[in-house]
A = this chain, B = another copy of it.
Amino acid sequence: MKTATAAAAPQQAPAPAPRPGLRERKKQRTRDALLRAALELFITRGYEQTTVDDIARAVGVSQRTFFRYFPGKEEVAFAMQDMVEAHFMTSLRARPADEPPLEALRRAVLDCWDSVREAVASIAPLELYLRMFRTIESTPVLLATHLRRSMEKEEHIAAVLAEREGLDVDADPRPRLVVAAFGGVLRVTGRLWSTGEDLTLEGLRALTVRYLDQVGTALAGSWRTPDPPDRAGAPAGRADA
């Protein structure tokens, strides 16, 4: 029962007073159990085929209790995504201020992919995250929500970029424009990866590098060359410039 571990707040608990509190631990355990059970069910049985009652029953609590821990069924599905996105924002802010915006974005994503494993480890193994990602991409209603969340995130990113460059997001559209274009490419990357057969993190990273490198040439004039022959980690030229 003791098991210590204390805080371990999964989300963003400001933890004003480090009170292990016997009661708190129980809540934390329940939340974790619900989260884990839900993800497991979503991945194996499918999101739509999983009812909230199923999740609650798997943990041994009432449906009402589930809704006291999560605002809705969807939120559980995005719990890990939340962490990774927060992690990305940290990576982005850590970029040196002299990097051009697009380059900063590029590096931040790659850094992020390189350290997702550790970022997610507190909740579940990396594989669970990757599988859930695929589930999201293949479940229409989740995909829709995912896109809206991405859009909101992009707004946030644009703000960071604008600050880096000392611009006003509302006066200069460029931050939002780059982020939107960049986000679009990432979306394609994620989609292609999730429908492919290589479900490893390395595969995703390689695809990201490849597509980010190609977007520059893709935007230019007309395409007459067959398909730029490069594959993996070749640090080829970046977007136009």
Q: Measuring CB to CB, which residues of chain A are less than 8 angstroms from any residue of chain B?
A: 100-102, 140, 143-145, 147-148, 151, 165, 167, 171-178, 180-185, 187-188, 191-192, 210-211, 214-223, 226-227, 239-241
Min CB distance A71 to B, Å, is 12
A75–B226 CA distance with the chains assembled, in angstroms:
40
The A interface, classified by DSSP as helix, strand, loop or mixed, is: helix
Q: Do A219 and B147 touch across chains, with their CB atoms under 8 A apart?
A: no
Q: Kindly list chain B residues whose C-beta atoms are within 8 Å of the C-beta of A219.
A: 102, 177-178, 181, 216, 219, 239-241
Q: Which of A172, A175, A216, A220 has the most CB of B within 10 A?
A: A220
Shortest Cβ distance from A148 into B: residue: B144
Q: Do A172 and B222 touch across chains, with their CB atoms under 8 A apart?
A: no
Min CB distance A228 to B, Å, is 8
